[in-house]
Chain A
């Protein structure tokens, strides 16, 4: 079963709750937190990969708690016109989604392995890696 990538948006009254614990304990979901953030107004966002048989029940629980659940439409995209295959991104990408093909030394981007951490977006000297919503 392929993991679903979703964004959770927590209000001020939910960002201090142990929501993830309940997803694991009560719904037996496998969770990979890609990104988490709480802003000064105590509102939070979290990007997750979720897998498990009780996935839909888990989402129902989240909605019952007043948490907005959205599919992750955000993806990292390579602007082929700007990329010169320098390779600077390949050592920084944590999942190997960006890698060097040998012996051609061309940079390959496998978006299936991308977890949208966006490190490449910051590191690419040519600004060839872009985020799309």
Chain B
């Protein structure tokens, strides 16, 4: 009879200290050795992890009320503007926001040494952050300007809310042009001088649940060193199966997550302000997701290895920016990690942007939390759309009236 386990059964085993938990790396060998059925019987939870720049990140802050009170129409934190077109003394600080006096790329390639992500990291480190605000004054909120210093303990709420994180898969960026380019995939040398990729591959959360059999709204996760939850699908959630021109399948791609959690219980070494030369500032985010082994199908999904997972190779010299098709093929994560891939007949060196050692550490920490009974699994309120839902990305066409 086919093995079926429920969330409740798995949680009972976690509570009694009997749950068998492996990381997504460890489970590969077990399935190879024991086979799918026996491995499904033995293992209850598989943990995943990833730690990489995730631009769509930010924090909702509630500063508390000054005396006299103020609506805070415009807000800056260490000179970085936060969006305050919401309720009084609330603001959303985006990770990619830059100080208003940043020279940006006018001094090409710009360094982007400080931005919203760095403010978030400063808050987590317990540093004092300068808060400036202006407003027009109302009868209930008479104050028109303020300048003060806050720290994370001083303020009411700091809720990390990241609308598009944990990309299921990502491009391998190369440069076919004849000049150096500065991208969110790092510095790409001309004439296929190098290739950069950004995924934890076999440890990456959504590559281990490619069809969204377990991850959904309400899934409890490791986020920034603390606890977070999956809030919804991320923006640009286009789960699909990658295919080449001949129709060969290269596995899943395109899903994203929206995640949320209380910043106050996160840790400064797991959310890091990040700068991309010539591109911008952002935040590196750590995410770990537990996958309950409900049945053999789930186990088959989590036992994938870097040999089975592929990144599309994309030219950032022209095709990417100009929204042109790029037909440079696919590279497996095993090849990408080996240090060289072959593109258009040329052998080129590869480098990652996503930390594999940290992904491994996250999966291990999450495993430890579960094994100790500190972390129970949540059954999603709603699963996320999968490739079966056939979501197509819309393009923005430039039109006149």
Contacts and interface: CB of A to CB of B under 8 A. Distances in A.
Contact of B353 (A87, A122, A127): A87
Contacts of A87: 351-353, 355-356
B277 interface: yes
A132 interface: no
B17 interface: no
B275 A91 contact: no
A8 B52 CA distance: 41
Contacts of A104: 357
B37 to A, nearest CB: 29
Interface string A11-46: 000000000000000000000000000000000000
A126 B353 contact: no
A85 B358 contact: yes
Contacts of A123: 186-187, 277
B357 A91 contact: no
Contact of A125 (B269, B275, B350, B358): B275
A127 B337 contact: no
Contacts of A102: 337-339
A84 B358 contact: yes
Contacts of B357: 84-85, 104-106
Interface string A86-123: 11111110000000101111100000000000000011
Interface in B75-125: 111, 113
Nearest to B338: A102
Given A84-B284, A88-B186, A122-B277, A100 B358 contact: no
Nearest to B351: A91
Contact of A91 (B51, B53, B337, B350): B350
Nearest to A103: B337
B53 A125 contact: yes
Contact of B187 (A92, A103, A126): A92
Given A125-B284, A126-B284, A86 B277 contact: no
A59 to B, nearest CB: 36
A91 B353 CA distance: 11
A127 B349 CA distance: 23
B276 interface: yes
Interface string B108-145: 00010100000000000000000000000000000000
A29 to B, nearest CB: 32
Contacts of A126: 272, 274, 284
Interface residues of B, number: 31
A3 B113 CA distance: 34
Contact of B352 (A81, A92, A105, A122): A105
B242 interface: no
A86 B352 contact: yes
Contacts, number: 73
B275 A86 contact: no
Given A81-B269, A102-B337, A86 B187 contact: no
Contacts of A88: 186, 196, 351-353
Nearest to B52: A86
A112 B190 CA distance: 28
B191 interface: no
A106 B358 CA distance: 9
A84 B355 contact: yes
Contact of B196 (A82, A91, A105): A91
A117 to B, nearest CB: 13
A91 B349 contact: yes
Contact of B355 (A86, A89, A103, A122): A86
B177 interface: no
B194 interface: yes
Interface string B179-190: 000000011010
B62 interface: no
A100 B51 contact: no
Given A88-B351, A105-B352, 9 more contacts: A81-B269, A84-B357, A85-B357, A87-B352, A92-B186, A92-B351, A102-B339, A103-B337, A127-B113
22 contacts: A82-B272, A84-B272, A85-B355, A86-B52, A86-B352, A86-B354, A88-B186, A88-B353, A90-B351, A91-B195, A91-B196, A91-B349, A91-B350, A92-B186, A122-B277, A123-B277, A125-B53, A125-B186, A125-B275, A125-B276, A126-B284, A127-B113
Interface of A: 81-82, 84-92, 100, 102-106, 122-123, 125-127
Interface of B: 51-53, 111, 113, 186-187, 189, 194-196, 269, 272, 274-277, 284, 337-339, 349-358
